[in-house]
Structure 1
Amino acid sequence: MASYDLNAFDRRFEAISIVGAIEQQGPYSLNVGFWLRDPNQYIQWPKLVTSNPRQDFLWEHSCFEIFIGVHGEDFYREINLSPSQAWQAYQFEEYRYPEDMPPKAAYDIELNQLKRTHYGMNVSINLAEFMLQHKLSWSNLYLGLSAVMKTSQGDHYYAMQHSSPNADFHNKRDWLHQF
Structure 2
Amino acid sequence: MQTYRLICHPETPALKVRSVDAYVVRNRDNYLHFRWRIKGTGALIVPEFVGPGREDGLWQTTCFELFLGAPDNDSYHEFNFSPSGRWAAYDFTGYREGMAERAMVAPPQTQERRHAHILTFDMQLRASVLPPRPLRLGLTAVIEEEGGVKSYWAIAYPPGAPDFHAPTCFAATLPPPEQT
TM-score with structure 2 setting the length: 0.84
Structure 2 residue aligned with 1:90: 90
Identical aligned residues as a percent: 25
- 8 Å Cα contact 1:31-1:125 kept in structure 2: yes
1:150 aligns with 2:152: no
**Residue 26 of structure 2: aligned partner:** 24
Write the letter of the residue equivalent to 1:175: F
Q: In the TM superposition, what is the alpha-carbon distance from 1:116 to its structure 2 partner?
A: 1.3
Return the offset for 1:62. 0.8
Q: Distance in 2 between matches of 1:176 and 1:110?
A: 27
C-alpha spacing 1:48/1:27, structure 2 compared with 1 (3 Å): closer
- Map 1:1-179 onto structure 2 (within 5 A): 1-10=1-10, 13=14, 15-16=16-17, 17-26=19-28, 28-39=30-41, 41-50=42-51, 52-98=52-98, 103-108=99-104, 110-118=106-114, 119-131=119-131, 136-137=132-133, 140-152=134-146, 154-178=149-173, 179=175
Report the AA paired with residue 18 of structure 1. Answer: V
Residue 130 of structure 1: CA displacement?
3.9
C-alpha contact 1:6 1:158 (8 A) present in aligned 2:
yes
Distance (whole Å) between structure 2 residues aligned to residue 160 and residue 28 of structure 1: 26
| TM superposition outliers: structure 1 runs of 4+ over 6 Å | none
The answer (yes or no) to whether the contact 2:20–2:38 under 8 Å persists in 1 is yes
